[in-house]
Amino acid sequence: MVYHSSFVEVEDITKTCGCPLLPLKSHIKGPAPVSEQDSNDIVDEAITFFRANVFFRNFDIKSSADKLLIYLTFYINLALKRLEGCRTLAEGTKAIINLGLEKVPVPGEHGFPFPGLFSQPQSEEEAELFRNYLKQIREETSGRLLSVAYRSNGTPNKWWLAFAKRKFMNVITP
């Protein structure tokens, strides 16, 4: 059974391209509202549910937050593929930083992994807002992922990096 997001009935949340701009407990600048540090956010959910959700080829979407969970699961899978050959935390950090510097495609652009999951932006401003949100949430996810993919002594955690070999929803990662 696939795990769904708990952010089903979040009130007063801005949406762009059919995606809620959920709050993040982040220090990274971006359009996401700031969440309380002691509560879970969508990034925590994505990392917690990743090892179970990555096995599914189909995902029954129950809320718009599930769409974001799907995107983050795909991104975590992509990040783990980049970390796969990195033997130290320093190498992994460099690989994740390089991944963060890549251009973030939005729906309707070449390279967006899930055409049809999110609606296409109606204006250039909406596209830029969505791109900035995805960039912020990817950077936040990357930072938290490093803390679980590597042990405190800087060596890889094989129980996480083994999932780099999985293909989420049969989407081929670049």
The CATH number linked to 31 is: 1.10.1760.10
Is 9 inside a domain boundary?
no
- How far apart, in whole angstroms, are the C-alpha atoms of residue 24 and residue 105? 21
Domain residue limits at 125: 15-167
pLDDT(100) > 90: no
Q: 169 CB contacts (<8 Å, ≥6 apart)?
A: 56, 57, 58, 59, 70, 74
Q: How many domains does the chain have?
A: 1
Backbone torsions φ then ψ of 172, nearest 5 degrees: -85, 125
Higher pLDDT, 166 or 69: 69
pLDDT(174) > 60: no
N-terminal to C-terminal alpha carbon distance within the chain:
28
pLDDT(20) > 60: yes
For residues 146-154, average pLDDT: 93
Is 5 inside a domain boundary?
no
Is 2 inside a domain boundary?
no
Lowest mean pLDDT among 1-10, 35-44, 139-148: 1-10
With cut-offs at 50, 70 and 90, classify the pLDDT of residue 110: confident
pLDDT, mean over the chain? 87
Q: 1 CB contacts (<8 Å, ≥6 apart)?
A: none
What is residue 92's predicted lDDT score, i.e. its pLDDT? 94
- How far apart, in whole angstroms, are the C-alpha atoms of residue 28 and residue 137? 9
Give the pLDDT confidence of 29-62 residue by residue, as tens digits: 999 988 888 888 899 999 998 888 887 777 788 8
For residues 99-119, average pLDDT: 88
Backbone torsions φ then ψ of 116, nearest 5 degrees: 95, -15
Is 7 inside a domain boundary?
no
- Under DSSP, is residue 118 helix (H, G, I), strand (E, B) or coil? strand
Is 152 inside a domain boundary?
yes
Rounded to two decimals, the pTM is 0.90
For residues 117-137, average pLDDT: 94
Is 110 inside a domain boundary?
yes
